Amino acid sequence: MSTIQQREELHRTIWSMADELRGAVGGWEFKAYVLGTLFYRFISENLTDYINRLQADAGVEGFDYAEMSDEEAEMAREQMVQEKGFFILPSQLFKNVCKVCEQDENLNMTLSKIFHDIEGSAIGTESEDDMKGLFSDFNVDSTQLGGDVRTRNRLIAKVLLKVRDMNLGDDFQENKIDAFGDAYEFLMTMYASNAGKSGGEFFTPQEVSELLARITAADGHEIRSVYDPACGSGSLLLKFSKTIGKDNPALKYYGQEINPTTYNLCRINMFLHDINYDNFDIQLGDTLIDPKHRDLEPFDAIVSNPPYSTQWEGSKNPLLINDDRYAGPGVLAPDKTADLAFTLHMLASLSESGTAAIVEFPGVLYRGGKEQNIRKWLVENNHVDTIIQLPANLFFGVGIATCIIVLRKSARPDNRILFIDASKEFVKNGNKNRLASANQDHIFQVFAERKEEPYFSCLVSIDDVLKNDANLSVSSYVEQEDTREVIDIDQVNTHLRELIEEGNALNVRIEEIIKELGGE
């Protein structure tokens, strides 16, 4: 079976499983149980595979960690926590729990203890913050799962067995890491598409994430760290890992998220893509008010899809105007639209040679007042590299056409801004639009080569943009192709004369017929 066929089979299985199980709990809430179980299976098999390979390398044949006694396994606890960031006893492995889950009348308590023990194994170590609360959304005693313990346990057991039976490949290193990550992304896509407006908070479409990653690495500068200050479930960071970081195992991933549920999903996503705990640092909190990574700045690449037009403290907090992140323009982003506050934060977090690619609400390109002042400062200081107009209806819960703002701190090739109108670069995918590979390649090629194409892209001097009130709307600079049919006036006149002649001849004939009828 080909990789594509395996993936399609996996997706069908996931869809069938979720469709069958989500009746008890709303689909978006139920993701916590499906994804939590998927994560539990992954870290169990990840740890088992790691220990088994260590034993095989030491010359021990036929060793299987899952068959060890808990007492014997304890000897490996300290080493595993240090190297993997967590520890699971053999009896608590997903595989072994599944064997007896249908007969376990106290399954809820069993899982609660296991999850507590897994998170607790990291307490007092470097991975404590990375493991803390990862299973907090997996509420084994939720009344949404059933009115009594027996009903809830039956449903939980059903979830465990459905995830156990998912075909994720046999060889962990060769197949399962990609399969687990793909299963996670498919689940997130599926749940986000059914979550309405809230779905977009959790997930950025993969093709948009890939385009952002390619843009930040286009100039070939060394990338040792990537940052997303509004990281959601981590889809942008992980697509960066697949696109740019696959040949750089030392790449560090940094992110901050204000929503506790999404914060947990992001850390789970990191583990599911086999990014070790010491290679990522995901923090919980409000980036605009309390950024957690300032001592780790600057970052070589920034990719982000921050919330659109969200409220923030802004002018209500007198200390913010003196914050070095926002001080440059001399004004703060409006209290009701924090979009450009995120933009300024990312610029401040960027290395001198780095690139930031940010998905933005289109209003930030042309709105007046404080936002116009901020845009003017960005343009005057030559930080705006490129503006890309994206097609409408790409994102879950957002039908409007968004845009990408590309920022640089100092490594600008010239004093011009590249405007790209990619609003027609899409293919239909059900009720959504999607950037196909050819669409991505076209956008990226024009961006990387900074070239002009009629009706698609143009380079505009900073002076001309400033003369236009620092308006960064792509439609203000890229000429629209006139698709109206060209009318040949001579041809129209000739045709009109022919019609008149035909009409005159017809009138003559009608008069002749009338005379003939009168003569009779």
User: Sorting pLDDT into bands at 50, 70 and 90, what band is 195?
Assistant: low
Section 78-93 average pLDDT: 97
Answer whether residue 299 shows pLDDT above 50.
yes
> Torsion over CA of 116, 164, 15 and 211, rounded to 10 degrees?
70
Q: Is the pTM of this model over 0.75?
A: yes
**Residues 6+ positions from 39 with CB-CB distance below 8 Å:** 134, 268, 271, 272
**Residues 6+ positions from 473 with CB-CB distance below 8 Å:** 362, 365, 366
Answer whether residue 315 shows pLDDT above 90.
yes
pLDDT digits (tens, 9 = 90+) for 123-155: 999 999 999 999 998 999 888 788 899 999 998
User: Sorting pLDDT into bands at 50, 70 and 90, what band is 201?
Assistant: very low
Answer whether residue 118 shows pLDDT above 90.
yes
Distance CA 245, CA 255 (A): 16
Section 484-496 average pLDDT: 75
Residue with the larger pLDDT of the pair 191 and 122? 122
User: Sorting pLDDT into bands at 50, 70 and 90, what band is 199?
Assistant: very low
pLDDT digits (tens, 9 = 90+) for 425-439: 999 877 778 899 999
Answer whether residue 2 shows pLDDT above 70.
no
pLDDT at residue 20, as a whole number:
63
What are 475's strand-pairing partners?
Answer: none
Residue with the larger pLDDT of the pair 319 and 243? 319
Within 306-365, residue ranges assigned H as helices are 339-349
User: Sorting pLDDT into bands at 50, 70 and 90, what band is 192?
Assistant: low
CB 314 within 8 A of CB 331: no
User: Sorting pLDDT into bands at 50, 70 and 90, what band is 486?
Assistant: low
pLDDT digits (tens, 9 = 90+) for 37-57: 989 998 999 999 999 999 999
Count of C-beta atoms within a 10 Å radius of residue 344: 24
Q: Is 477 left (phi over 0), alpha (psi -120 to 50) or beta?
A: alpha
What is the SS3 assignment for 407? Answer: strand
Backbone angles phi, psi at 2, to 5 degrees: -70, 165
pLDDT at residue 134, as a whole number:
93
**Residues 6+ positions from 174 with CB-CB distance below 8 Å:** none
Run of H or E residues at 228: strand 225-228
What's the mean pLDDT when you consider all of the chain? 87
